[in-house]
Structure 1
Amino acid sequence: MTTATPLADAPATYEPGSSTTDANSIKTRPATLRMLGAELRLLLRDPVTTTFVVAFPIIAMLIIGGVFGTQPNEVFPVNPSHWYVASYFTTVIGATGLIMLPVHIASYRERGVLRRFAAAGFPRWSFALAQLVVGLITVAVAGALLLAVAAPVYGIPEVDDLGRVILAATLGAIAFIAIGVLLGTVLPTARSAQAVGLLLFFPSFLLGVGGPPPAVMGDALGTISEWLPLGLVTQAVREPWLGIGSANTALVVTAVLAIVGVLLAGRRTAL
């Protein structure tokens, strides 16, 4: 993790206790934008982001996507390569929420950066908002890169219901970004955040996204894979994308996860 902090962008004249609402709103907006700009710059320097959010899903997709051929069968109702391209898109969401953000935020807590944000005059909600925007940008960019790599190798599967796919991906991203913010504000150090994030990410990845399809799993593992948070997000994205189902239940649960996650993360960052 980089040791740089965005404190240099803090407005030196901001007074948290100011009684003038208009003055506060005028000063808060540039402060929040500066925090967002600083967070985006730090994101580009973070090797964890490059490895887990960009490189890992692409490499895993290239390896697994070609294992089962290209012909539908009794296990895969569609082209298996397309099944994994659609599935690995959500790996980006899981990596962002379970690895990138918790490590990033916990490193801030470990170094006392969050306390200095408050002392510099940043409103508490601005940090959570900055992480949400950064997380959404990360998911969009990393997802686009994954599809760009998949296109000449396996082809990008035709989207059957674009609106539902975008809705599911957005809700899933918000849910996992909120989980990442929550983990980062609870775990005491960057190392502990990385350990917990990896323990949560890889079972979710292997059972809910990048491993064998549920049809070939045992009953217990198949049930677990279908109800893991990342598995639900994957169902909500993959089924309308490939035209193999509506995934209504998965979409509703994903929306609930997003709402609950945002409330919990917001409450935590407001403490």
Structure 2
Amino acid sequence: MSTSTAPAPVPTVDDADLRRPDRSVSRRLLASELRLMTRDPMTLTFVLVFPIVTMLIIGGSFGTEPDEAFPINPAHWYVASYFTVVIGATGLIMLPVHIASYRERGVLRRFAAAGFPRWSFAAAQLVVGLVAIAVSGTALLAVAAPVYGVPDVEDPLRVVAGVAVASVAFVSIGVLLGTLLPSARAAQATGMLLFFPSFLLGVGGPPPSVMSDVLREIADVLPLALANQAIREPWLGLGDATGPLVAVAILALVATVLAGRRTAL
């Protein structure tokens, strides 16, 4: 006697809901996605725990005095950098796995059959990704404050702009990857492959001054490294990072358009 696995539950829409504006239906989808995010071990591990633990370890490895490798307090250098790690982990690991698992189980087709607006899933994932970044980034700074101190923000407007465009860019990349990859396992493998080289070369690894010329050239063009420059340089007063900010803004625009098309129900 064979048994079958019951499909994953999907929020349903009754006739009364369909007569209401699309906004109320989409709100139910967003609330459901936010609940699922809090139960996802991938979120807790790679978006919340991993950046905090590695920041605590490497932030204390180079002391607190500027030297030839670091133009400022090394601990502050890594506190600012690891905010970008949160953004990268959300977009390259958490969201692709979550969305690919939906595709693998046919959940997206059931969303469409349930009557959700075409734009609702993409919008829900954007909000979920931004919420994950906000919560995990705040937790990172809260842990860093009593240990290393949070560096003063030298140029708040540019830092806010950098965080905003980087968050939208990588959340959109994550949504796009999740719709392209065939399974959650493939999404996890691809996400790890994209995340860790960028993390080590362009964000949370050794300082650029100790890397070879070839590695520095590679790091300079990695999207996550550009996002890090757009946030860290104005935060620490190391420059205005106009070039990286523009590059990440273009990436955000392209990725958002492509992700929106791929996730239309």
Where on the TM-score scale, by shorter chain, does this alignment land: which range? over 0.9
| Contact 2:121/2:264, CA 8 A, preserved across alignment | no
Instruction: Please state how far the C-alpha of 1:13 moved relative to its aligned partner.
Output: 1.6
- Distance in 1, Cα, partners of 2:114 & 2:214: 51
Q: Which residue of 2 aligns with 1:196?
A: 190
1:256 to 234, 250, 260: 250
2:121 to 119, 127, 134: 127
Identity across aligned pairs (percent)?
A: 65
Compute the RMSD of aligned alpha carbons. Answer: 1.6
Q: Which residue of 2 aligns with 1:11?
A: 13
Instruction: Please state how far the C-alpha of 1:268 moved relative to its aligned partner.
Output: 1.1
Trace 1:139-218 onto structure 2 (pairs within 5 A): 139-218=133-212
Residue type at the aligned position of 1:177: V
1:111 to 80, 105, 108: 105
| Contact 1:4/1:42, CA 8 A, preserved across alignment | no
Residue type at the aligned position of 1:160: E
Q: Which runs of at least 4 in structure 1 moved beyond 6 Å after TM superposition?
A: none
- Distance in 2, Cα, partners of 1:165 & 1:14: 44
| Contact 1:175/1:262, CA 8 A, preserved across alignment | yes
| Contact 1:14/1:27, CA 8 A, preserved across alignment | no
Residue type at the aligned position of 1:119: A
1:30 to 24, 28, 32: 24
Instruction: Please state how far the C-alpha of 1:27 moved relative to its aligned partner.
Output: 3.2
- Distance in 1, Cα, partners of 2:17 & 2:117: 10
Unaligned runs of 5+ in 2: 1-5
Unaligned runs of 5+ in 1: 17-22
Q: Which residue of 2 aligns with 1:56?
A: 50
1:240 to 234, 240, 247: 234
Go from structure 1 to structure 2 and tell me whether the alpha carbon gap of 1:226 and 1:11 turns closer, same or farther (over 3 Å shift): same
Report Cα offsets for 1:202-243 as digits up to 9, x if no partner. 001000111111122111100111110000000000000000
Instruction: Please state how far the C-alpha of 1:106 moved relative to its aligned partner.
Output: 0.4
Go from structure 1 to structure 2 and tell me whether the alpha carbon gap of 1:127 and 1:59 turns closer, same or farther (over 3 Å shift): same
Residue type at the aligned position of 1:242: L
> What SS does the aligned partner of 1:124 have?
coil
Q: Which residue of 1 aligns with 2:219?
A: 225
Go from structure 1 to structure 2 and tell me whether the alpha carbon gap of 1:6 and 1:168 turns closer, same or farther (over 3 Å shift): farther
Residue type at the aligned position of 1:47: P
Report Cα offsets for 1:106-143 as digits up to 9, x if no partner. 00001100000000001121000000001111000000
- Distance in 1, Cα, partners of 2:7 & 2:109: 16
Q: Which residue of 2 aligns with 1:19?
A: none
- Distance in 1, Cα, partners of 2:74 & 2:16: 56
- Distance in 2, Cα, partners of 1:71 & 1:29: 52
Residue type at the aligned position of 1:7: V
Instruction: Please state how far the C-alpha of 1:6 moved relative to its aligned partner.
Output: 5.9
> What SS does the aligned partner of 1:75 have?
coil
> What SS does the aligned partner of 1:72 have?
coil
1:75 to 69, 93, 96: 69
Residue type at the aligned position of 1:13: D
Residue type at the aligned position of 1:225: A
Instruction: Please state how far the C-alpha of 1:4 moved relative to its aligned partner.
Output: 9.1
| Contact 2:48/2:86, CA 8 A, preserved across alignment | yes
Go from structure 1 to structure 2 and tell me whether the alpha carbon gap of 1:228 and 1:11 turns closer, same or farther (over 3 Å shift): same
- Distance in 2, Cα, partners of 1:169 & 1:4: 37
Go from structure 1 to structure 2 and tell me whether the alpha carbon gap of 1:6 and 1:131 turns closer, same or farther (over 3 Å shift): farther
- Report the TM-score when normalising by structure 1: 0.93
- Distance in 1, Cα, partners of 2:231 & 2:243: 12
Instruction: Please state how far the C-alpha of 1:15 moved relative to its aligned partner.
Output: 9.3
- Report the TM-score when normalising by structure 2: 0.95
| Contact 1:6/1:35, CA 8 A, preserved across alignment | no
Q: How many residues get paired?
A: 260
